[in-house]
Structure 1
Amino acid sequence: MTGHDHDHHHHDHDHSELSETELRVRALETVLTEKGYVEPAALDVLIETYETKVGPRNGARVIAKAWADPAYRARLIADATPAIAELGYAGRQGEHIVAVENTERQHNMVVCTLCSCYPWSVLGLPPVWYKSAPYRSRAVIDPRGVLRDFGFELPPETEIRVWDSTAEIRYLVVPMRPRGTDGWSEEQLAELVTRDSMIGTGLARPPGHADP
């Protein structure tokens, strides 16, 4: 596993299943719901939208630009934080991001073994499974098994590197660009980028999933 010593893992939250922030949000949600100010179903839709659509679209734009623009890709790999900021994505939980690139020889996967550190500025809210104890432990012990659980298997000759996020450093996976996308615009390429492919638990969509 690649990452940073968690002896210096200075989180601003505890390592329980729910962080202090999440507990406060739950408490606020309960109060607002009881007073009739919000509908729980509406909140669920909002959270799901930010987890799966709005947030990951930022990262998809970053990846699409890296695929289409070799100079930008070089800047992203060399120093991801300012490269991402070029596109307007910065802020808390995204102060120091490292981009790791998938190749035929190496596949990268991201985990936070102690809690749920995650690059919010490009991926939105972390999915529930990312915060779960089974994922946090199995990603380190049996990454190939985890990838099989997510529906794909890599060739045995492909090395898997697991990167351990911390409060100081978060990782963004640059998935391999799908074949058959030569000449595609950044907007078209972004439609092929999935949230899971930027965590390393998935692959980019094949061209058939978007109109060229």
Structure 2
Amino acid sequence: MPHDHDHDHDHDGGSALSPTALRVKALESLLVEKGYVDPDALDVIVETYETKIGPRNGASVVAKAWTDPEYKAWLLKDATAAIASLGFTGRQGEHMVAVENTPDTHNLIVCTLCSCYPWSVLGLPPVWYKAPPYRSRAVIDPRSVLAEFGLDLPAETAIRVWDSTAEIRYLVLPMRPERTEGWSAEKLATLVTRDSMIGTALASDPGARS
């Protein structure tokens, strides 16, 4: 699929940043220099939005799909509308597609030319998602990339790689973990991680959360 390079994303061209990113960097440097901002505190804030606050939206979507068959069918048919019905809309999440993991097929999301990412459901993109090694190798050798993330899939499991574009963002619907019968959607959401919705991990083992 073609990419629209007029959107504000980091692009592979050495370490080139978009005009917006350059302005943010300049402002951050000025605030740090004047002592208004602690760079360590900024790192904590960014990490929080990357791994905690942001992905909670997507986790709510996944948990509802796990517990509501009608919602799941809607999500797989029209993810944009299904996700918007929960109040999760905004820039970088206008056109969503949900892809479902099964015992036979595992889905992996990448953006090969830049860093298109569904901010409205996953928060800020992790650094590795934007890095050239992931963007190139995820397509060429996805099984090895997943192994480096600690995810060793059976040889018979097919891996399907989805390339995000300026027009479409993807969300992986991970398989619901076993031993979660009777769990509420709120409790199930605690098992859904950002990486499981990108495809570099599975949903968390409920035994590890007990």
TM above 0.5, one fold?
Answer: yes
SS at match of 1:62: helix
Tell me the alpha carbon deviations over residues 88-110 of structure 1, each in whole angstroms, 9 at most, x when there is no partner. Answer: 11000111111000001111000
Tell me the alpha carbon deviations over residues 143-187 of structure 1, each in whole angstroms, 9 at most, x when there is no partner. Answer: 000010000211111111100001111100000000111110001
Between the aligned partners of 1:121 and 1:87, the Cα distance in structure 2 is: 11
SS at match of 2:22: helix
TM-score (norm 1): 0.93
Q: CA deviation at 1:24?
A: 1.8
- Partner residue of 2:2? 5
- Partner residue of 1:131? 130
TM-score (norm 2): 0.94
- Partner residue of 1:100? 99
The yes-or-no answer on 1:186 pairing with 2:181 is: no
The residue correspondences of 1:34-183 to structure 2 (distance < 5 A) are 34-183=33-182
Q: CA deviation at 1:11?
A: 3.6
2:11 aligned to which of 9, 12, 15: 15
Q: Give the partner amino acid of 2:37.
A: V
TM-align CA RMSD? 1.2
Between the aligned partners of 2:18 and 2:196, the Cα distance in structure 1 is: 25
Q: How many percent of aligned residue pairs carry the same amino acid? A: 71
Tell me the alpha carbon deviations over residues 7-28 of structure 1, each in whole angstroms, 9 at most, x when there is no partner. Answer: xx34413623433332221111
Q: Give the partner amino acid of 1:12.
A: H
Between the aligned partners of 1:22 and 1:195, the Cα distance in structure 2 is: 23
Q: Which runs of 5+ in 1 are unaligned?
A: none
The residue correspondences of 1:26-41 to structure 2 (distance < 5 A) are 26-41=25-40
Corresponding pairs, count? 206
Tell me the alpha carbon deviations over residues 125-150 of structure 1, each in whole angstroms, 9 at most, x when there is no partner. Answer: 00000000100010000000001000
SS at match of 1:162: strand
